[in-house]
Chains A and B, each alone.
Chain A
């Protein structure tokens, strides 16, 4: 698709794209290229010289049990966050899609957590479920649960999944609601005339018609769980106890922060890049394209 009516000018278009091109080249392509180059190099202990080592950094990474655990953990977190947040949001959206009085108010009251920053989400949830002073921890302890997410890795992981899913409810809710409202009401009427009960109507009519939205949200939620959980993890557990809440992004951050192995840190970045590109590719391939060429 191209415009027919255009302007003629030799220099002006270059001047117009120059600012964005400059920023993208300096702050995007240059660092990305650096990461790729760095991932093939091995630096000596003093950082004075480096040698080209082909894929050694990558091979070392995949031999490293801690890295493998981080991959599994990240995928598990993504899956748990996506499923819990999506199902809760879908339930709310189906309810809000009904012709109810005050449905606009419901929408307003459900969408605002989108605006809460991940580190703040972390602070809110660790405060509620803090082992010694959290208001909810009292009840957990009264129920006989030995609740201490600062010492128990599984509980820490559960807490992070809970907090991350909480934040994402509003986003999922909005897109589900839009998806539901796009389904023509006549479809439901036809199913109702055929005698399908509401539950059956949901599973045989609504759910299949909503599947593009579900798929789109699944990809978005996985990307969210990969990257935006960093702030939540960093304020709640800082990857601990031990390494039980270290995700791939957190590992890039903490390995690099210790200043140790630059090559390994770069290789981790490159692997993450490939993962995001694959996810984005899936999204563009299967989800209805927003961009037309």
Chain B
């Protein structure tokens, strides 16, 4: 081990704390602003210490919303975001794990073409095909619906590739053993493969949940009704172009509420998060 001299060690600690401070500062400001009076903020007189309006601001944000630009309670927006994030995460894992299972454990005509058809989707994010996708979702009457929010974002290959790779590492003996026990393909999948995939599924779920919760461009396009807005879309609509009307404490409280679930997931499930991040490279 290369020994670090005492002085260098202090420098390292100092640099890390400065880094943490830089990273945390914008969020600290948001939390502080969400507890203050709007008039004070609008005058540019905001204090750098928390104010006394915490409960009233958050109550209004969650249950009422802004009084001007969007009257939608942020609680409802969070519910929409939650449904969308869960639908994307669960939907993607579900369809991916069964298609990976078919591709790894069966031989059938068009197996490789089907694999490639799925694989290529890895390359293109929804942003590059945004309007044609919008048109299809509109034609299918899925605007302003949870299905319309989630389905186009499920169409991607990351999870399929991960499960395929994992299945390849599962020893063949397990299949032989369960076959001797008289298990068919579905039993083997359900009783052997799924339990083995639990950690992979959890890691993937963590990442997909965060990505789903944070979606912006797609929900922005396909939700027109206020009650279908996700929180990410709602927060933008709260910033009015005429600055004087923006209710900053509520905007900042919404920002804090929008950060809370994904940040909690990262901190509470750090191991799974890091694993999922490294595996999906998202």
Contact = CB atoms under 8 A, between A and B. Distances in A.
Interface of A: 1, 3-7, 9-10, 12-14, 16-17, 19-21, 23-32, 34-35, 38, 88, 91-92, 95-96, 98-100, 106-121, 123-128, 130, 132-135, 137-138, 166, 169-171, 174-175, 178, 185, 188-189, 192, 198, 216, 220, 227, 230-231, 234-235, 249, 252-253, 256, 262, 265-266, 269, 272-273, 276-277, 280, 290-292
Contacts of B99: 16-17, 19-21
Nearest to B173: A5
Interface in B67-125: 94-96, 98-99, 101-108, 111, 114, 117-118, 121-125
A216 B24 CA distance: 26
A38 B131 CA distance: 11
A114 B214 CA distance: 10
A230 B154 contact: no
Given A13-B106, A100-B12, A119-B236, 15 more contacts: A7-B105, A16-B101, A26-B151, A26-B155, A27-B136, A98-B9, A111-B273, A111-B274, A120-B235, A121-B26, A123-B252, A135-B46, A234-B236, A273-B129, A290-B281
Nearest to A273: B128
Contacts of A19: 94-95, 98-99
A100 B40 CA distance: 43
Nearest to B112: A293
Interface of B: 1-2, 4, 8-9, 12-13, 15-16, 19-20, 22-27, 29-30, 33, 41-44, 46, 48, 94-96, 98-99, 101-108, 111, 114, 117-118, 121-125, 127-133, 135-137, 151-152, 154-157, 160-161, 165, 167-168, 172, 175-176, 184-186, 188, 210, 213-214, 216-217, 220, 232-233, 235-236, 239, 243, 248, 251-252, 255, 258-259, 262-263, 265-267, 270, 273-274, 277-278, 281
A12 B137 CA distance: 29
Contact of B217 (A25, A130, A231): A231
Contacts of A21: 99, 114, 117-118
Given A27-B152, A230-B216, A235-B239, A276 B19 contact: no
- With most chain B CB atoms within 10 A of its CB, the pick from A23, A106, A234 is A23
A107 B281 CA distance: 18
Contacts of A109: 20, 23-24
B20 A110 contact: yes
- Main SS at interface, chain A: helix
A253 B220 CA distance: 11
A100 B274 CA distance: 20
Given A88-B19, A117-B232, A27 B133 contact: yes
B138 to A, nearest CB: 12
A25 B160 CA distance: 15
B230 to A, nearest CB: 10
Given A116-B263, A133-B41, A231-B232, A127 B252 contact: yes
- With most chain A CB atoms within 10 A of its CB, the pick from B98, B99, B106, B165 is B106
